[in-house]
Structure 1
């Protein structure tokens, strides 16, 4: 495998992992009766049409059919991809659920 092929493979792997991160975020939102697009727009107000998010939303299942996505798991995944703004919005939603 030459350098160009290796570079292409690395990019493809990253994009696949990024899609998985988006799907985990979208499913977490569904599991907590939240709209993934609304949360995403709160984090990134200048990014309107996110095709990858729309595709991920199409792949989510109803919360009664879904496995649990732990809050910490989602926050760790968002952190790995540098989505600090989205992690902040998710944290706000988590804090709304917790009793004071």
Structure 2
């Protein structure tokens, strides 16, 4: 026999409710003990600050490309630019709907 997909009707005898108990009182949060990981964490903060102060691009490469574009030596094909932009967009996130 196949069970119904919808809700099951109940009768008066089906109204059993579990007993509700009082919640335990909250305790104050304990302060964690200092560990050796804390000096490493402060070192990571310094590394993050150092990396944030430097631009994430190769300035020399950008200037070479700009010179090549200005001199007409850099091949700019509109179809290639469009293809790369579309590929970048499609790989941006896996949640995009087609």
TM-score, scaled to structure 1: 0.27
TM-score, scaled to structure 2: 0.27
Richer in helix (by share): 1
Rg larger in structure: 2
